[in-house]
Amino acid sequence: MRAETQTHIEKVRKSLVLLGQRMDLPTAKHRLEEFNARVEDPDLWNNQEKAQKLMRDRQVLVDKLALYDKISQALEENVELIELGEAEGDAEVVTEAEEALAKLVKTAAEKELEALLDGEADGNDTFLEINAGAGGTESCDWASMLARMYVRWAEKRGYEVELQSMTPGEEAGIRSAVYKIAGHNAYGWLKSESGVHRLVRISPYDSAARRHTSFSSVWVYPVVDENIEIEVNPADIRIDTYRSSGAGGQHVNTTDSAVRITHLPTNIVVTSSEKSQHRNREIAMQTLKSRLYQMELDKRNAAINEAHENKGDAGWGSQIRSYVLQPYQMVKDLRTGFETSDTGGVLDGDIDGLMASTLAMDVSGKTRAEAQAEG
């Protein structure tokens, strides 16, 4: 058996071990037996809400166990085919099995990473907020580039993207924008993107073609679903309506339909600027509840909490990632050291590698492998 093939086998086996540990395989199987027993209870559907939650939880467990079994079975089958093909001198069988094994390595690695998305809100849809920081027009243009990058990333994953609100820049780009991104594990994937993003490039707005540094902040918080209850005291909020900016001519907004909600105790401000004022109130309130929920999550994680305390300083010293287009090509995550020279691909939405490097880190700043090695 070729050395490369043996390496692939070991990689898949390692991923299976980590997947099994992450889901606590014996406990997961026992829980599924309990779920199956409860499903047989004829009184289960007397409480519709409780029954639906049980069925959702059971399906998540079924999918995890099925995935583990599928990868394990595929590994065994391809190893057997390779051994059989080598014994019988059938090079075609060996080649096909080796190619399948190489694909299985990638699949197992992806699923191993997804297994890290086990936070209580990781499976939820998410809000993505982008704000231009220091740098004037340059930063507004940079904010629009970031918005495009995340929209492209979401579309490639098959997620639904809905623009909630946007404030255009005075000359170019955007001052701010909020998107709702819907899809399985949307928040879990994007949560690592919260922080300040720094761009270095030759400015297209500088007639002297000088190099400029720009900053924009990205903040991510989960959409609060029916399983998460967030109470907002009406006395704690102020609701304002205003005329949203938009295209001129026949499309200009002539009614005060946009909604701004200010949460007085925390000074959180959320907006929505669709055509319907009633719809805007719903969207803004949902966004506010998600922001408040994110604050509660942050309190449980000192590292994330510290980042949010620096939210207002979208400039030097608070960035999590640098995108350098001049004098060389490099995108580097400053938390993990992960870097790539494929700046074009990154700005076109190919950011899985950057996300993966952060998700694979322990809250202590070590990679999960390093943390496990230290016991």
- CA-closest candidate to residue 355, choices 155, 194, 131: 194
Between CA 279 and CA 348 the distance in angstroms is 32
In the predicted model, is pLDDT for residue 185 greater than 50?
yes
Provide the percentage of residues in the chain whose pLDDT is more than 90: 44
pLDDT above 70: residue 33: yes
pLDDT band per the 50, 70, 90 thresholds, residue 375: very low
Q: In sequence order, what are the beta bridge partners of 331?
A: 323, 340
Reported confidence tier of residue 369, pLDDT bands at 50, 70, 90: very low
pLDDT per residue over 207-257, tens digit each?
A: 787 888 999 999 998 887 655 667 788 888 899 887 765 444 344 344 567
* HSE of 212, CA atoms in CB hemisphere, 13 A: 20
The burial class, CB within 10 Å (0-12 / 13-18 / 19+), for 33 is: exposed
Among 327, 307, 357, smallest CA distance to 197 is for 307
Please list, residue by residue across 148-168, b when 16 or more beta carbons sit within 10 angstroms of its beta carbon and e when fewer do. ebbbbbbeeeebebeebbbbe
Please determine, for residue 189, whether its predicted confidence score (pLDDT) is greater than 90: yes
β-pairing, 126-132 vs 195-202, is: unpaired
Q: Mean pLDDT of all residues in the chain?
A: 84
Span between the terminal Cα atoms of the chain, in Å: 34
Higher pLDDT, 244 or 159: 159
Rg over CA atoms, the chain: 24
How far is Cα of residue 61 from the mean position of the Cα atoms in its chain?
Answer: 22
> What pLDDT is recorded for position 147?
97
Q: Which residue has the higher pLDDT, 361 or 47?
A: 47
The pLDDT assigned to 254 comes to 44
Span 339-366, pLDDT tens digits: 999 999 999 999 998 998 888 774 445 5
| DSSP structure string for 67-106 | HHHHHHHHHHHHHHHHHHHHHHT-HHHHHHHHHHHHHHHH
H-helix segments, the chain: 3-23, 25-39, 48-88, 91-114, 137-156, 186-190, 277-299, 302-309, 343-347, 352-359, 368-373
Domains in the chain: ranges and CATH: 3-114 (1.20.58.410), 126-369 (3.30.70.1660)
